[in-house]
């Protein structure tokens, strides 16, 4: 009876919600507290940033691929960064490399990927009305927006944006005399990153709280979709590691502006020559602090992509994900190990070689859970009934990149081999495949898969196929040959390869080829952008459950409103991967279908769970609409 | 080349037509709801394309590897370099097998298990035995790689042998400076960054008598062949990284924290000219840690020669003190006599107040002679 009474109360409350004053345009679309709107804000910001970030890479690829090319046509955008002879300025080349890295890692693949899909999917897939705190969630986006604004402004200042590499190692980044990019550009970089970190922490706290506290009736941790597991672990990683980056940035700000010596020691610098008074600091300290975030950051970027891929592959292979528990265990293993491998970025920094040995052991351990994940994806395809939606294609592409890029990690993680390959193009190829391309494919797969839920319309599938094949081929053409250049010993962040005999006149054709492939891949992305924008307004109307998926978001109305579900939030009785269950009439059974309704397909131990259904239905602690607010 | 460009243009044109016609089709199509559950031709095309991609990709990978392999890992001239090269190719062999097998399975399964009408996928949620197998196999392979790699790393990073010939290399924006320990005592003198000025660009401290015969160069580092060499590495301004590609040497240069790397070069420059068939061959040292505008051109030449000619070459070099006699002003009075033989006979008498002297020499920059507390 209590349930019925509660139910009436909810319906009344929902009715009351429907009679809310219509929200003003500003509250509804701009300063919105609705997780779905915030997710779309993150997505659109992320897409804009990715266009900027990739354009920067195309500019420096022109320099690398065609060193003799006249770049006068870029003068309208770059102004005096194109010098009198029509060439890119070497200082600005470094700025381009730096900003490409910063933008792609933080603004696209952290905010654009995790920000979009954690916000969008966590409440919808765990069965919550909204995030635990809509207000903090709104703040999170607007802090990100501020960070974006500051970073964007830094691109246009006279001395140029930060230019010490995305890792901003001091003393180069700490001393304005060392490089024009270390002047105002670096200050803006640090301000922007501080705001960005605040945004990440606000978001992360919200994701964790929502997953722990606001799961619907019956949604135990062992019934969570792998997407949610991935978002949850990502948020935990971010919450622990981002503050360390903030502290590194703060100490760098002190060194730059207040005369401290955290990272500075025994420096004589400048054209005229000046011995700085700072002694006792250590540049290596910054590297430790930076990579304590920097390595988990790789997984902050990658885990959400892997989580979404698990969901998409299972749905479209019409098969349960193979080894659900092993997938969770390997994600937990990766998340834990992510914190204790950071110094493999520092094997040749002069760090004690004994530490190098320890970090080599720990680093190669992380390959084991990663291998388990790859094998499990492949086994999920085995004997499936695969439907190639664009999302599915991108997920398979992700698995291929994850394998191809991950394997070279075994070489770089080996400190003895890292001596030769450290800071060469081998590293660039490795992390672009395993972290850049794989995560970007996760993002694209997620957009294709959840577009119908986000906007109530479908994206065009055939354009999706074309987009996939051009991008998949293009990315391999860019990064596969890059390994060769690395094995030949070409160092990264070089403006030109003409100063050394060991790089002069070698691989110029290969570098041109890579640049052409990069331009080709970038061009192909406009197919996606056209498809996205067109479908946003004129796409075909989405059906209720276009992919015949099991998870809860497809039980909401096609255009879910405030509170996501009209009336009661559905209860959950089973795990999210009951695809092609023997005996069942359909090839999928959504999570909110009780075992009592599917006697024909229940496994023996599941029949015993029928008795618990009443109990599950009686719980109703977490509906935010039932709490006074 | 013309044919390739023409071929590419045709391909691009074809792709552009495909994309535009598809866009037009999207715009024209009615805006009704999609029909559900229709899986048609495109599914088969996509499945087939995965196999095509795999086969063509494999051919491309093999061909490009063969094409690029001439320039892989330039001839190693150090024993530790040949050891890591072997480990590199061993690891490459292992990961190539894994790469081929897993990608082959991925694409093959995608094609083989494409949607078929009336077929139901297998309900196969777990198999503990399988998972155990593919947890243990990577773990064992990894353990072997780690162990071999660790042993190599331990040996490479071990303390340099006592008879190692010491050199110092200092990174600055944007060149390297090498300092030789000198022929008389074969010992590097002390240094202090506050002593750096235009005449003393590595900050040699002349209160240490081991400094008197040290000499420096910004163009060449000469080292003896078949003898352990210990590079003492430091930086003046920002991070740099010593990279000697042919010797498989890389170590960062860190301001305020001296680092080191020891190795044996076992092929002289001349021998390498014969091996590579390139009469202009020269060893080079590069920078691999981004350090600013000139990062890409911090070249210094490295000359490896047999011990006799190396010693002869060193004897020809003048100590910094001899070529820059004004530095004599920094020598404390009790060591003046020992320094005399490096100074020209008509060397100016040292002024009593050395602080004033260094101010004059510093090119207008005042450098107090303080030592670090």
Q: Which residues are CB-contacts of B194 (< 8 A; sequence separation ≥ 6)?
A: A268, A275, B203, B367, B368, B369, B370, B371, B372
Establish if A510 touches chain B: CB-CB under 8 angstroms: yes
Q: Which residue has the higher pLDDT, B19 or A172?
A: A172
From A152's Cα to the closest Cα of chain B, the distance in A is: 22
Average pLDDT over residues A203-216: 94
Return the number of other C-beta atoms located less than 10 Å from residue A535's C-beta. Answer: 21
Q: Which of A281, A323, A419 to mutate to test the interface with B (most CBs of B within 10 A)?
A: A419
Establish if A336 touches chain B: CB-CB under 8 angstroms: no
Closest residue to A387, CB basis, from B19, B43, B289: B43
Given pLDDT bands bounded at 50, 70 and 90, which one contains residue B368?
very low
Tell me how many domains chain B contains.
Answer: 1
Distance from C-alpha of A416 to C-alpha of B158, rounded to nearest angstrom: 12
Distance from C-alpha of A260 to C-alpha of B240, rounded to nearest angstrom: 22
Closest residue to A386, CB basis, from B110, B153, B287: B110
Cβ contacts of A519-523, under 8 Å, gap ≥ 24: A519/A58, A519/A61, A520/A470, A520/A474, A520/A477, A520/B12, A521/A470, A521/A471, A521/A474, A521/A475, A521/A477, A521/A478, A522/A54, A522/A55, A522/A57, A522/A58
Given pLDDT bands bounded at 50, 70 and 90, which one contains residue A447?
very high
CB A178 to CB B292 under 8 A? yes
Q: Taking a C-beta distance cutoff of 8 angstroms, is the pair B246, B266 a contact?
A: no
Return the number of other C-beta atoms located less than 10 Å from residue B158's C-beta. Answer: 10
CB B125 to CB A577 under 8 A? yes
DSSP B90-127: HHHHHHHHHHHHHHHHHHHHHHHTB--TT---------
- A272 has a pLDDT exceeding 90: no
Tokens representing residue A483 in the block = 């390994």
- B82 has a pLDDT exceeding 80: yes
Domain-located, residue A594: no
Establish if A285 touches chain B: CB-CB under 8 angstroms: no
Establish if A284 touches chain B: CB-CB under 8 angstroms: yes
Establish if A30 touches chain B: CB-CB under 8 angstroms: no
Tell me how many domains chain A contains.
Answer: 1
A283-315 pLDDT, tens digit per residue, is: 999 999 999 999 999 999 999 999 999 999 999
User: Complex ipTM, two decimals?
Assistant: 0.92
- A508 has a pLDDT exceeding 50: yes
Return the number of other C-beta atoms located less than 10 Å from residue A450's C-beta. Answer: 24
Closest residue to A273, CB basis, from B107, B115, B198: B198
Q: Which residue has the higher pLDDT, A12 or B100?
A: B100
For B151-305, strand residue ranges (E) read: 165-172, 175-180, 215-217, 220-224, 228-235, 240-244, 249-253, 259-264, 283-287, 300-305
Whether the CA torsion A519, A524, A527, A530 is positive or negative: it is negative
Q: Which of B66, B156, B295, B366 to mutate to test the interface with A (most CBs of A within 10 A)?
A: B295
Domain-located, residue B4: no
Average pLDDT over residues B284-296: 95
Q: What is the pLDDT of residue A25?
A: 80
For residue B286, what are the domain limits? Answer: 165-361
Given pLDDT bands bounded at 50, 70 and 90, which one contains residue A410?
very high
A596-607 pLDDT, tens digit per residue, is: 999 999 998 898
On chain B, the residues whose CB falls within 8 A of the CB of A487 are: 68, 72-73
CB B121 to CB A579 under 8 A? yes
Domain-located, residue B46: no
- Residue B305 has φ and ψ, to the nearest 5°, of -140, 165
A472-501 pLDDT, tens digit per residue, is: 999 999 999 999 999 999 999 999 999 999
DSSP A76-109: HHHGGGB-TTS-B-HHHHHHHHHHHHHIIIIIII
Cα B6 to Cα A65, A578, A621, distances in angstroms: 20, 52, 68
Strand partners, B251: B242
Given pLDDT bands bounded at 50, 70 and 90, which one contains residue B38?
low
Given pLDDT bands bounded at 50, 70 and 90, which one contains residue B31?
low
On chain B, the residues whose CB falls within 8 A of the CB of A509 are: none
Distance from C-alpha of A375 to C-alpha of A381, rounded to nearest angstrom: 10
Average pLDDT over residues A83-100: 93
Domain-located, residue B311: yes
- B73 has a pLDDT exceeding 90: no
Average pLDDT over residues B334-339: 88
The C-alpha angle A109, A113, A118, rounded to 5 degrees, equals 140
CB A410 to CB B198 under 8 A? no
On chain B, the residues whose CB falls within 8 A of the CB of A175 are: 237-238
Average pLDDT over residues A535-558: 94
Given pLDDT bands bounded at 50, 70 and 90, which one contains residue B370?
very low
- B350 has a pLDDT exceeding 90: no
Q: Taking a C-beta distance cutoff of 8 angstroms, is the pair B265, B78 a contact?
A: yes
B224-246 pLDDT, tens digit per residue, is: 999 999 999 999 999 999 999 99
From B4's Cα to the closest Cα of chain A, the distance in A is: 12
Q: What is the pLDDT of residue A274?
A: 86
For residue A136, what are the domain limits? Answer: 2-21+30-264+281-538
Q: What is the pLDDT of residue A273?
A: 82
CB B142 to CB A388 under 8 A? no
On chain A, the residues whose CB falls within 8 A of the CB of B65 are: 484
Given pLDDT bands bounded at 50, 70 and 90, which one contains residue A470?
very high
How many residues make up chain B in this entry? 373
Cα B61 to Cα A405, A412, A472, A513, B72, distances in angstroms: 15, 21, 15, 14, 15
Average pLDDT over residues A523-552: 94
Q: What is the pLDDT of residue B355?
A: 44
Distance from C-alpha of A150 to C-alpha of A138, rounded to nearest angstrom: 19
Q: What is the pLDDT of residue A10?
A: 52
CA proximity to A252, closest of A147, A162, A169, A349: A169
A151-166 pLDDT, tens digit per residue, is: 999 999 999 999 999 9
Cβ contacts of B314-320, under 8 Å, gap ≥ 24: B314/B180, B314/B183, B314/B222, B315/B183, B317/B180, B317/B215, B317/B217, B318/B215, B319/B182, B319/B212, B319/B213, B319/B214, B319/B215, B320/B200, B320/B204, B320/B214, B320/B215, B320/B216
- B205 has a pLDDT exceeding 90: yes
Distance from C-alpha of B290 to C-alpha of A422, rounded to nearest angstrom: 12
Q: What is the pLDDT of residue A17?
A: 52
The C-alpha angle A315, A320, A324, rounded to 5 degrees, equals 115
Average pLDDT over residues B285-313: 95
From B165's Cα to the closest Cα of chain A, the distance in A is: 20
- B150 has a pLDDT exceeding 80: yes
CB B130 to CB A534 under 8 A? no
Q: Which of residues 294-333 of A touch B (CB under 8 A)?
A: 317-326
Q: What is the pLDDT of residue B357?
A: 40
Distance from C-alpha of B111 to C-alpha of A476, rounded to nearest angstrom: 20
Q: What is the pLDDT of residue A629?
A: 54
Q: Which of B49, B125, B143, B201 to mutate to test the interface with A (most CBs of A within 10 A)?
A: B125
CB A465 to CB B64 under 8 A? no
Domain-located, residue B172: yes
Using a 10 angstrom Cβ sphere, with 0-12 exposed, 13-18 middle and 19 or more buried, the burial of residue A605 is: exposed
Domain-located, residue A597: no
Q: What is the pLDDT of residue A79?
A: 87
CATH number of the domain residue B224 falls in: 2.60.40.420
Q: What is the pLDDT of residue A5?
A: 45
Give the neighbor-by-neighbor strand order of the sheet with B175-180: B215-217, B175-180, B165-172, B228-235, B259-264
- Interface A-B: count of C-beta contacts within 8 A: 391
Domain-located, residue B43: no
Return the number of other C-beta atoms located less than 10 Å from residue B85's C-beta. Answer: 18
Number of H helices, E strands in chain A: 21, 2
On chain A, the residues whose CB falls within 8 A of the CB of B232 are: none
Q: Which residues of A407-442 are buried (b: 16+ CB within 10 A; e: fewer)?
A: bbbbbbbbbbbbbbbbbbbbbbbbbbbbbbbbbbbb
On chain B, the residues whose CB falls within 8 A of the CB of A507 are: 68, 71
Q: What is the pLDDT of residue B301?
A: 95
A214-261 pLDDT, tens digit per residue, is: 999 999 999 999 999 999 999 999 999 999 999 999 999 999 999 999
> What mean pLDDT, rounded, does chain B reach?
87
Q: Which of A165, A388, A396 to mutate to test the interface with B (most CBs of B within 10 A)?
A: A388
On chain A, the residues whose CB falls within 8 A of the CB of B127 are: 322-323
CATH number of the domain residue A439 falls in: 1.20.210.10
Share of chain B above pLDDT 70, in %: 89
Average pLDDT over residues B20-35: 70
Q: Taking a C-beta distance cutoff of 8 angstroms, is the pair A572, A593 a contact?
A: no
């Amino acid at each position: 009876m209590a349930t019925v009474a509660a139910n009436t109360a909810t319906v009344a409350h929902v009715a009351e919600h429907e009679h809310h004053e219509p929200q003003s345009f500003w509250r509804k679309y701009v300063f919105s507290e609705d997780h779905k709107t915030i997710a779309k804000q993150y997505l659109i910001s992320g897409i804009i940033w990715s266009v900027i970030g990739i354009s920067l890479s195309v500019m420096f690829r022109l320099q690398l691929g065609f060193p003799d090319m006249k770049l006068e046509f870029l003068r309208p955008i770059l102004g005096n960064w194109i010098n009198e002879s029509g060439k890119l300025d070497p200082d600005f080349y470094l700025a381009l490399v730096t900003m490409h890295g910063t933008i792609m890692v933080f603004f696209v693949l952290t905010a654009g990927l995790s920000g979009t899909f954690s916000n969008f999917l966590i409440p919808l897939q765990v069965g919550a009305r909204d995030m635990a705190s809509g207000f903090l969630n709104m703040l999170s986006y607007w802090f990100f927006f501020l960070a974006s604004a500051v970073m964007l402004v830094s691109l246009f200042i006279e001395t140029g944006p930060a230019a010490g590499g995305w890792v901003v190692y001091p003393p180069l980044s700490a001393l304005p005399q060392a490089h024009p990019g270390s002047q105002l550009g670096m200050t803006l970089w640090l301000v922007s990153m501080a705001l960005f970190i605040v945004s990440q922490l606000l978001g992360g706290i919200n994701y964790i709280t929502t997953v722990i506290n606001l799961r619907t009736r019956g949604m135990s941790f062992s019934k969570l979709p792998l997407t949610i597991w991935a978002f949850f672990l990502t948020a935990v990683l971010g919450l622990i590691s981002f503050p360390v980056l903030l502290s590194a940035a703060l100490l760098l700000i002190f060194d730059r502006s207040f005369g401290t010596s955290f990272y500075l020691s025994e420096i004589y610098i400048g054209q005229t020559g000046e011995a700085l008074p700072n002694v006792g600091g250590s540049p290596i300290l910054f590297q430790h602090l930076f990579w304590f975030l920097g390595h988990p950051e790789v997984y902050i970027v990658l885990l959400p992509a892997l989580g979404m891929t698990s969901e998409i592959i299972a749905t479209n292979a019409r098969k349960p994900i193979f080894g659900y528990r092993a997938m969770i265990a390997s994600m937990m293993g990766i998340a834990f190990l992510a914190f204790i491998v950071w110094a493999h970025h520092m094997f040749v920094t002069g760090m004690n070689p004994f530490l190098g040995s320890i970090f080599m052991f720990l680093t190669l351990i992380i390959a084991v859970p990663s291998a388990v994940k790859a094998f499990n994806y492949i086994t999920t395809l085995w004997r499936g009934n695969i439907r190639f939606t664009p999302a599915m294609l991108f997920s398979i592409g992700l698995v291929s990149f994850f394998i191809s890029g991950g394997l070279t990690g075994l070489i770089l993680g080996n400190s003895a081999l890292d001596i030769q390959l450290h800071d060469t193009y081998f590293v660039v190829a490795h992390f672009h495949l395993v972290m850049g391309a794989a995560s970007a494919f996760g993002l694209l797969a997620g957009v294709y898969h959840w577009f119908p839920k986000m906007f109530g319309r479908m994206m065009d599938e055939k354009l999706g196929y074309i987009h996939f094949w051009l991008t998949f081929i293009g990315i391999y053409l860019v990064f596969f040959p890059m390994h060769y250049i690395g094995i030949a010993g070409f160092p990264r962040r070089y403006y030109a390869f003409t100063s050394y005999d060991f790089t002069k006149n070698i691989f110029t054709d290969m570098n041109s080829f890579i640049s052409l492939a990069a331009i080709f891949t970038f061009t192909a992305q406009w197919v996606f952008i056209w498809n996205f924008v067109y479908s946003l307004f004129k796409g075909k109307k989405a059906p209720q459950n276009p992919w015949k998926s099991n998870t809860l978001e497809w039980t909401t109305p096609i255009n879910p409103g405030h509170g996501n579900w009209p009336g009661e939030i559905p209860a959950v009785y089973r795990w999210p991967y009951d695809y092609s269950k023997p005996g069942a009439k359909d090839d999928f059974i959504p999570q909110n279908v009780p075992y009592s309704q599917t006697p024909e397909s229940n496994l023996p131990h599941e029949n015993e769970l029928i008795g618990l259904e009443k109990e599950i239905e009686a719980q109703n602690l977490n509906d935010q609409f039932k709490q006074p607010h | 080349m013309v044919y390739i460009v023409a071929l590419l243009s045709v391909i691009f044109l074809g792709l552009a037509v495909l994309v535009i016609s598809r866009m037009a089709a999207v715009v024209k199509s009615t805006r009704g709801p999609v029909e559900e559950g229709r899986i048609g031709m495109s599914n088969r095309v996509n499945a087939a394309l995965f196999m095509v991609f795999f086969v063509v990709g494999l051919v491309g990978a093999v061909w490009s590897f063969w094409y690029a392999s001439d320039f892989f890992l330039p001839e190693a001239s150090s024993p530790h370099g040949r050891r890591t090269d072997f480990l590199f190719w061993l690891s490459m062999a292992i990961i190539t097998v894994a790469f081929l097998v897993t990608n082959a399975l991925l694409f093959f399964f995608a094609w083989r298990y494409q949607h078929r009408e009336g077929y139901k996928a297998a309900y196969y949620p777990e198999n503990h035995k399988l998972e155990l197998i593919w947890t243990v196999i990577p773990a064992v392979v990894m353990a072997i790689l780690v162990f071999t790699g660790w042993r190599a790393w331990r040996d490479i990073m071990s303390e340099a042998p006592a008879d190692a010939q010491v050199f110092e290399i200092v990174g600055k924006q944007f060149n390297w400076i090498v300092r030789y320990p000198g022929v008389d005592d074969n010992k590097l003198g002390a240094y202090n960054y506050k002593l750096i000025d235009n005449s003393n660009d590595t900050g040699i401290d002349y209160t240490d008598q081991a400094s008197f015969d040290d000499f420096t160069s910004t163009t060449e580092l000469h080292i003896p062949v078949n003898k352990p060499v210990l590079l003492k590495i430091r930086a003046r301004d920002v991070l740099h990284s010593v990279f000697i590609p042919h010797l498989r040497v890389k170590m960062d240069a860190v301001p305020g924290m001296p680092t080191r790397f020891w190795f044996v070069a076992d092929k002289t420059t001349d021998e390498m000219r014969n091996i590579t068939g390139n009469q202009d061959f020269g060893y080079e040292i590069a920078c691999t840690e981004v350090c600013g505008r000139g990062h890409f051109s911090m070249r210094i030449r490295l000359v490896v020669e047999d011990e006799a000619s190396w010693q002869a070459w060193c004897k020809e070099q003048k100590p910094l003190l001899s070529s820059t006699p004004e530095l004599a002003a920094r020598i404390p009075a009790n060591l003046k006599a020992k320094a005399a033989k490096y100074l020209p006979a008509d060397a100016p008498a040292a002024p009593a107040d050395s602080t004033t002297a260094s101010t004059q020499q510093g090119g207008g920059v005042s450098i107090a002679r303080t030592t670090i507390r």
